[in-house]
Every structure is written in structure tokens, then in C-alpha cells.
């Protein structure tokens, strides 16, 4: 997507920094220097600062606060800040115990932050630099002397250093801790597209990935990874390939950390900025499952969210952190996990830990299947004849799906046709199964359950309510009359319609499914003639093209759109199928 609400990088960077002070009153922004700092920092402890190009938020600025970073300095989008900016940030949170500077391992960042550190040393102040590199995708041969790129593992180093600094650990101890952590981290990204940088022109076709293409190992500045993949693999295949690059010890180009099933491991799932929370959460679950099934690795901590982005990057990253070994600092063993569990007051670290960390996940064991009363019909139906009728009707709905979807896309949200098709396929599968029976009460009740299980959204709820009402109508009739007849079906339909009306205000004229359903039921009750009733349903559905919607998303579509209501067309397709 090449469109943005704000296209001036300077406005973006300063505005993003200022927004953080509204969320955390212990933060202050230095607009000229483009840095943010924790103004209540403890001058007796080492100050921990970081920074880099903007566009990776919440890295780095949202990790400033008690228990984490003392300050961060921002460059423009994907560009390192200057050493002057960095030195001003160091000066703002100067400490008698010195300053630890953490940056990601990119040439521009390392040079500018190293220059700032050297200026501090030249002035007689203590300062050390740690450049975090955790990427495995490029490999040793290609990365050469540059080393591994910095990805989301950098945030874990922020957290560890900040927590350790709060405990008074000296500068040299913090450096040892951070480098030990980096030596035990591996990360890899995957992305479906390059990102567009605000303020730049539209991208050419050469700069864009094809629709069926993805990049494995993509960097956080649009840099290429280890390879392009086309067509895009399934998520299970992709996750397996990513974990192989992280964990395969036979790949000497990428075997940076030896992690096995006996190790204590932290998993970080990083959203690169553009995946929906729904998709990202599902991907995270897939990664956990694959770790357990393929490597017998069960992380002791899982952090899943937006840590280090590439603007609105359409991708995700996996970081594995081996926390098995303790780090001995001045005779004291330090646990990575204990530091990660320390409380923090940084906006970008919103993860709660339960007071009882030994609590175990459980498996829900309550059945979601309805427990129906054991009511049987005193009469039976012609099972095979009814099976054929229902299958014909469901096929008619399936065949009508493209037309229904087309009209719903024009005057709705486009899902009515596919919802009806899922319901029809579910009913057809049930009718073909050995669960299909000759008891009319149980049959209609079971079909109502199938509809509820297979149709979602508003239309799914309406159909499920209608058919549950229909099932009750069949039961009431058979318990009184004890005969299967046209009258039974018509009285049950009338009962179903009354049930539906209890839960929806929709009536004929509102441009909904009721414009076809109500005329059908009323005509069938009046005449016992399904063909006459079907004719009125079709006429009612077609008439909706000239009605103004009063309910549903179609309300927001202009009145000049003259297409029939998709829900009404769906009803017509169902009853026409039965009439066949």
C-alpha cells in the first residue's frame, strides 16, 4: 500500500515520540534531538540507551521506562540518528555508573552509536556499545565480516539490560550479560510484500513482489533474505522451513546456537506490523505446535505481539532464545528468565505474567454439542425420498452462490453467498451420512444443528433460529396429529416464522431475506401449494432491487444501487430447490 495519512517523515517521527508522553507521564521528548527519555531514572545505576531508524516501532522508543531503557534516539525512517543526537541523549540521562549503548547490527547504526560512545570515552566517561545480531537467514558466508543483522531479539536484550541495571549491576557486567544473551539468540523473518516508505514515490513493478511470491528471511528495511519463494507455501510448510533454519545443526552456515529439547527456551513471535491480529495469532499457534511436534521444544515463556516492525510489513518473525545457562557476574549467577519476569513500566512491553507462574494450561472438556431431550416421532418418513429432495435443494443453493455473492458484493459485505454455500454443503454432508434418519422430529432438529455449526454471521444466526423454530413446530404437530402431511410442514413453517420474528425486526419491505421468506410461508400456509409459494418467494426476492434497505450493512449503500437483496435470493434458491 503506497498511501499514507502523513507523508512527511519528520512530522511522523516527532509526532510518534510525543504521543508516548501522553501514555506514560514519566517520559519526556526532546524534539530537536528526536529522543525520548525516562526522566525519573536512577542516576546511581547504569543508564541503558538504544535507538536507530524510525519505522520499527515499538522498537525502540516504546521500550523506554522504568525497568527497561533510559532513553532512545530516533533517526529518520530506516536511517540511523547522528552521533550528535546520540550524545545529547546520553547526556540527558548521564549516570555516575556509566552508559550502556545498545543498537541493532546495521552498519549505519553501529558507526553512529560507536562514534557517540567514543566521544563519551574521550570525555572521560564510562560507555560501552553492544550491537545485537540475531538473524540467521543470510548465513555466515553471505554476511561475511558484517555479521548477523539485528531483529526482534534486540528487544529481549533491552529488557535484560534494563532489569539488570535496576539491580545495580555494573557496566562491564551488563555488557557480559547482553553478549551472552545475543550468543544464545536466533531469529528469522518471512514477508509477503515490501513496505512503502512515507514520503517516497510510488513503487515500480520491479520493487513489488508478485501476488504468489514471498521472501524468506526478509530484513526490516526491505532487504532481501535468503530467497524468494513462489508459489507461497502453506503456513505449516513455511514454519517448518523457518524452524529448520533456526535449529538445524547440520547447516553449518546458519547453526549459530545449538538448541535442543532439554533446553530452557523463550519464544518471541514478532508481527512485522501489517498482519491482522487474527492471522498473527494463528501463525503463532502454528509455530508453538511445530516446535513441540518436530523438535520436542516447549518454551517456558512465549511473547507474541508487535516488537520490531518494518512499518506496516506484511510478515512475521520467530526468535528463539536459549536461557538454559546462568551468567556469572562478579560471583553471582544471573538467570535470564528472572530478568525477563521483572516488572517494567514501558509502553511497548504490555505482557502480564500470572502471580502463579507454575500454573499449567488445561484442555477444555465440556462438549459444545447440544444435549437434546430424547423425543421421538410416532411416525416415520420415506427416508430415501426425503434425502433426494434435500440434496436437490442444497445443490440448488450451491449453484446459486456465485450470483448471490455478486449482488452481495455490490450492496453488502460479500459473504452471504459463501455463508449459504457452507450451510448447504454441511446439510448435504449430513444427509449423505449414516446420521440421517427417518424420524422427522430428530431429522429437522439435527439439520438445525448442522446449520448452526456451519453458517456464521447474521444470516447464519437467522437461519439457525428459523430452523430451530421449525423443529419445534414439527414436534408440536406430530405430538398432536401424529401424521406427516403438507399441513405439518406448513404449520411448522408458520411456527418457525413466528419464532424468527421474536428476534428480528425485519419484515417485508425492509429489503431482507424476509421479503422472500414471509410471502413463501404465508402462501404455503394458505394454499398447501409449494409451487405457488415458491413463485411468491421469487417475486419477493426480485422486488428487493427497488427497495431501500432498513437493516444490515446494505443500509450504508446508496439507494441508486438497483440489485436484489442477496439474503432474499438465498431464500428463493432454497425453496426453488425443494420445489424441484
109 is in an annotated binding site: yes
Locus of grid cell 551468567: 327
DSSP H helices, 315-382, are 336-340
Catalytic-role residue among 221, 298, 372, 477: 221
DSSP 249: T
SS3 assignment for 66-93: CCCECEEEEEEECCCCCHHHHHHHHHHC
> How far is residue 102's CA from residue 49's CA, in Å, rounded to a whole number?
6
**Which among 90, 98, 102, 153 is positioned nearest to 130, based on CA atoms?**
102
d(CA 189, CA 246): 11
* 510 grid coordinates: 425492509
CA atoms of 500 and 82, how far apart (whole Å): 67
> Residue 15 CB: number of other CB atoms within 10 A?
11
383-411 and 416-432 are packed helices; what angle lies between their axes, rounded to 10 degrees?
170
Q: Is 104 marked as binding a ligand?
A: yes
The widest CA-to-CA distance across the chain, in whole angstroms, is 101
The annotation status of 159 as a binding-site residue, yes or no, is: no
- Find the distance separating the first CA and the last CA of the chain, reported in whole Å: 48
Q: How far, in Å, CA of 523 to CA of 528, rounded?
A: 8
DSSP 346-365: -TT------S-TT-------
Residue 221 known to be catalytic: yes
CA 20 to centroid of chain Cα atoms: 24
What is the residue-wise DSSP string for 103-135?
EES-HHHHHHHHHHHHHHHHTT--EEEEEE--B
Place of cell 539468540: 185
Do the beta carbons of residue 159 and residue 68 sit within 8 Å? yes
Other beta carbons within 10 angstroms of residue 366's beta carbon come to: 5
Reference 299, options 341, 264, 256; nearest CA is: 264
Q: How far apart are CA 395 and CA 290, in angstroms?
A: 39
Report the alpha-carbon distance of residue 115 to residue 129 in Å, rounded: 10
CA within 13 Å, CB half, 289: 10
Q: How many other C-beta atoms can be found within 10 angstroms of the C-beta atom of residue 62?
A: 27
Torsion region of 324: left, alpha or beta (phi above 0 gives left; psi -120 to 50 gives alpha): alpha
53 is in an annotated binding site: yes
Spatial separation of the C-alpha atoms in residues 216 and 29, rounded to whole Å: 37
Binding residues for substrate: 53-56, 104, 109
Residues noted as catalytic: 221
Q: Which residues define the annotated binding site? A: 53-56, 104, 109
Amino acid at each position: 500500500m503506497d498511501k499514507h495519512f502523513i507523508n512527511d517523515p519528520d512530522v511522523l517521527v516527532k509526532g510518534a515520540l510525543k504521543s508516548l508522553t501522553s501514555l506514560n507521564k514519566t517520559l519526556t521528548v526532546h524534539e530537536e534531538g528526536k529522543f525520548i527519555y525516562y526522566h525519573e531514572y536512577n542516576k546511581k545505576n547504569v543508564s541503558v540507551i538504544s535507538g536507530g531508524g524510525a519505522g520499527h516501532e515499538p522498537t525502540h522508543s516504546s521500550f523506554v521506562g522504568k525497568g527497561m531503557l533510559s532513553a532512545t534516539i530516533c533517526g529518520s525512517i530506516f536511517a540511523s540518528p547522528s552521533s550528535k543526537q546520540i550524545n545529547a541523549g546520553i547526556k540527558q540521562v548521564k549516570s555516575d555508573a556509566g552508559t550502556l549503548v545498545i543498537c541493532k547490527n546495521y552498519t549505519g547504526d553501529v558507526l553512529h552509536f560507536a562514534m557517540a560512545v567514543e566521544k563519551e570515552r574521550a570525555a572521560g566517561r564510562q560507555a560501552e556499545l553492544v550491537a545485537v545480531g540475531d538473524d540467521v537467514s543470510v548465513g555466515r558466508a553471505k554476511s561475511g565480516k558484517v555479521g548477523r543483522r539485528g531483529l526482534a531479539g534486540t528487544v529481549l536484550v533491552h529488557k535484560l539490560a534494563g532489569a539488570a541495571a535496576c539491580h545495580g549491576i555494573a557496566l562491564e557486567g551488563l555488557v557480559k550479560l547482553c553478549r551472552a544473551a545475543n550468543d544464545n539468540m536466533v531469529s528469522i523473518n518471512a514477508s509477503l510484500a515490501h513496505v512503502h516508505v512515507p514520503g517516497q514515490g510510488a513503487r515500480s513493478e520491479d520493487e513489488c513482489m508478485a501476488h504468489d511470491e514471498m521472501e524468506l528471511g526478509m530484513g526490516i528495511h526491505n532487504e532481501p533474505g535468503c530467497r524468494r519463494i513462489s508459489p507461497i507455501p502453506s503456513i505449516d510448510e513455511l514454519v517448518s522451513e523457518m524452524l529448520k533454519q533456526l535449529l538445524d545443526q547440520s547447516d553449518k552456515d546458519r547453526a549459530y546456537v545449538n538448541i535442543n529439547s532439554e533446553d530452557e527456551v523463550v519464544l518471541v513471535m514478532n508481527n512485522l506490523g501489517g498482519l491482522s491480529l487474527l492471522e498473527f495469532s494463528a501463525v503463532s499457534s502454528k509455530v508453538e505446535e511445530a516446535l513441540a511436534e518436530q523438535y520436542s521444544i516447549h518454551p517456558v515463556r512465549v511473547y507474541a505481539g508487535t516488537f520490531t516492525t518494518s512499518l506496516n510489513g506484511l510478515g512475521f518473525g520467530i526468535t528463539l532464545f536459549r536461557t538454559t545457562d546462568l551468567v556469572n557476574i562478579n560471583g553471582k549467577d544471573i538467570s535470564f528468565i528472572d530478568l525477563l519476569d521483572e516488572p517494567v513500566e514501558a509502553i511497548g512491553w504490555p505482557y502480564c505474567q500470572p502471580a502463579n507462574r507454575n500454573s499449567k494450561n488445561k484442555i477444555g472438556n465440556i462438549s459444545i454439542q447440544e444435549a437434546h431431550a430424547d423425543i421421538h416421532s410416532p411416525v416415520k418418513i420415506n427416508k430415501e425420498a426425503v434425502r433426494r429432495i434435500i440434496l436437490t435443494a442444497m445443490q440448488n443453493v450451491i449453484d446459486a452462490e456465485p450470483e448471490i455473492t455478486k449482488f452481495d458484493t455490490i450492496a453488502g459485505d460479500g459473504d452471504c453467498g459463501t455463508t449459504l454455500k457452507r450451510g448447504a454443503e454441511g446439510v448435504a454432508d449430513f444427509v449423505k451420512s449414516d446420521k440421517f434418519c427417518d424420524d422427522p422430529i430428530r431429522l429437522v432438529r439435527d439439520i438445525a444443528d448442522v446449520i448452526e455449526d456451519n453458517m456464521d454471521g447474521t444470516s447464519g444466526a437467522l437461519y439457525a433460529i428459523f430452523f430451530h423454530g421449525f423443529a419445534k413446530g414439527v414436534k408440536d404437530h406430530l405430538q398432536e396429529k401424529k401424521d406427516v402431511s403438507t399441513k405439518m410442514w406448513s404449520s411448522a413453517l408458520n411456527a418457525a416464522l413466528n419464532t424468527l420474528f421474536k428476534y428480528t425486526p425485519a419484515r417485508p419491505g425492509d429489503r431482507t431475506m424476509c421479503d422472500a421468506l414471509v410471502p413463501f410461508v404465508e402462501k404455503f400456509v394458505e394454499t398447501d401449494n409449494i409451487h405457488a409459494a415458491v413463485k411468491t418467494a421469487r417475486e419477493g426476492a426480485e422486488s428487493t432491487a427497488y427497495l431501500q434497505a432498513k437493516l444490515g450493512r446494505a443500509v450504508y449503500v446508496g439507494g441508486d444501487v438497483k440489485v436484489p437483496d442477496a439474503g432474499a435470493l438465498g431464500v428463493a434458491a432454497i425453496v426453488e430447490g425443494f420445489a424441484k
